[in-house]
Structure 1
């Protein structure tokens, strides 16, 4: 009996069973989130987990272009792969990749919302893929003739995905509104935040509140610090409340899906269900393979 080989086979079959089951349940759960969350208008959206539809716009004074094509956009993701061969088979290996972290501006007929795409599953409609002999297609690099011989005649594949201004966007994530008098004041937390900020410059704190110049703050002086911090916190809150409302969408703190897509929720949910079916099949195959291997060794 090949014990090491059997152990490897069991690990693969169990991994396929567990991984496929986990992927199936995850995709089904995410599809349910998408279908159960009602679509909100930006102006009237509740604070928390919401679903929005709108049109993308560029940020003022922001010039964003795709790193591989140079085409203007509001968000991009790219991947560069190199064709490698060991004499028997060839495969593409990722040698460089990147994702835009620029904020997105989404609007509907009621307002605007800024979206931080960090942590989101982004599904853009635009995807370009092509091949070439240069590592970076927009740079001037020797790639042919004698120079191509020196570089080994390498072959690269480029993939770039983009979101463009004027395109529709489906977004589901954590919605927050700041300013406009929406935020209540947590007096204690705001006071402590100001004190922590002041402690960062302790010399300045002593200069302001150390009345007897002994290099320390006694209880009476700390009481003055707390009172000043409370007044400062209230003043900051009052000023923030007079600012126009700013709507933001960010990655949820809980394990809820954060998705930005050029496609609607029905299409995304359908894809998630197909992926869940694939995970279920993988789980079943892994389970059958595990039972078979256990039967081989007489444990079942």
Structure 2
């Protein structure tokens, strides 16, 4: 026989575990933020660092999808209001995040930031509602207008703009100047493997006698061409200018990009950790009460 108390017990146990995990995760992040000193980009050591600076433009600016505003980075979400009997909720129907890299300047130098995998907290956030699936789309007509009559959508768009302050904590590496150069022999072998994957093209390039196979002399030409290309790549890597790059660190370390400063982030994380702890305690109390009633 179905007993709803088992379902309630499962939910209370999930609240216990989820609350404990959330509390420990936020406390761990707060610990890293508090104990990592702010570095200057020009003199920052390689590895896990904390940076503070101002966002600058680089190349062509991005265009936010919902508002068409010029920006450096964007994230948006479109939700549809849906009813099912007495229940109603907002259902996400579309979302996307920019993968454009950012440029941070702290006065001592500049650093490129790869936002992939980061917890991004922008200062600019807009939320509004409308009757179209996309706020800048064409209004439906005819039969489509009848189908969309009475629909409600909620749009959320977040953006980073040039000139905004940015707090960043993540993994810093210096690239260029030969630091990322490959071993020449290893790169030569990689090139040959890549060329062999497209054997018809390899024959077209190096089969001089057109007999459909590569003899010993032709293989020597393949190896020579691969070695020369590997040497050219090595030379380009050596000549490339040095560039600081911030990216996602190893598992367990926070990767945060925020327009709010460290103090504000710490306050939020401590409050969120407290919320997780309270959820854990409530789940533990509910689980204990339900377990007693079941047995």
Task: Please give the TM-score of this superposition, normalised by the length of structure 2.
Answer: 0.85
**How far off its partner does 1:44 sit?**
1.9
Larger CA deviation: 113-122 vs 13-22: 113-122
Q: What 5-or-longer segments of structure 2 have no aligned partner?
A: none
1:164 to 161, 166, 169: 161
User: Where does residue 283 of structure 1 map in the other structure?
Assistant: 280
**Match for residue 48 of structure 2?**
49
Q: What SS does the corresponding residue of 2:3 show, helix, strand or coil?
A: helix
Root-mean-square deviation over aligned CA pairs: 3.1
The secondary structure found in structure 1 opposite 2:71 is coil
2:116 is matched with which residue? 118
SS at match of 1:52: strand
1:244 and 2:228 matched: no
Aligned partner of 1:193 in structure 2 is 190
CA contact (8 A) 1:83 1:93 kept: yes
Whole-Å separation in 1 of the counterparts to 2:31 and 2:105: 25
**Which deviates more, 230-239 or 148-157?**
230-239
Equivalent residue for 2:99? 101
**Cα 1:224–1:149 shift into 2, 3 Å:** closer
Contact kept in structure 1, 2:181 and 2:237, CA below 8 Å: no
Deviations 1:53-108 (A, max 9, x none): 11111221x23222222221111111112222234243222222111111111112
Question: Structure 1 261/295 Cα, relative in aligned 2: closer, same or farther at 3 Å?
Answer: same
1:102-251 map, 5 Å? 102-142=100-140, 151-183=148-180, 186=183, 189-202=186-199, 215=213, 233-251=230-248
Q: SS where residue 117 of structure 2 aligns? A: coil
Aligned to 2:24: 25
Change (3 A) 1:199 1:285: same
Residues 1:248 and 1:210: Cα distance change in structure 2 (over 3 Å)? farther
Looking at structure 2, the residues matched to 158 and 26 of structure 1 have their Cα atoms a distance apart, in angstroms, of 30
- Partner Cα distance (1:221, 1:237) in 2: 24
Asked if 2 retains the 8 angstrom alpha-carbon contact of 1:209 and 1:225, the reply is: no
Match of 1:292 in 2: 289
Q: Which runs of 4+ in 1 moved over 6 A?
A: 220-228
SS of 2:100's equivalent in the other structure is: coil
Aligned to 1:14: 13
In 1, Cα distance between equivalents of 2:259 and 2:65: 20
Distance 1:252 1:209 in 2: 46
Equivalent residues, number: 293
Which range moved further: 230-239 or 76-85? 230-239
Residues 183 and 295 of structure 1: is their aligned pair in 2 closer, same or farther, counting only changes over 3 Å? same
Measure the CA separation in 1 of the matches of 2:267 and 2:100. 29
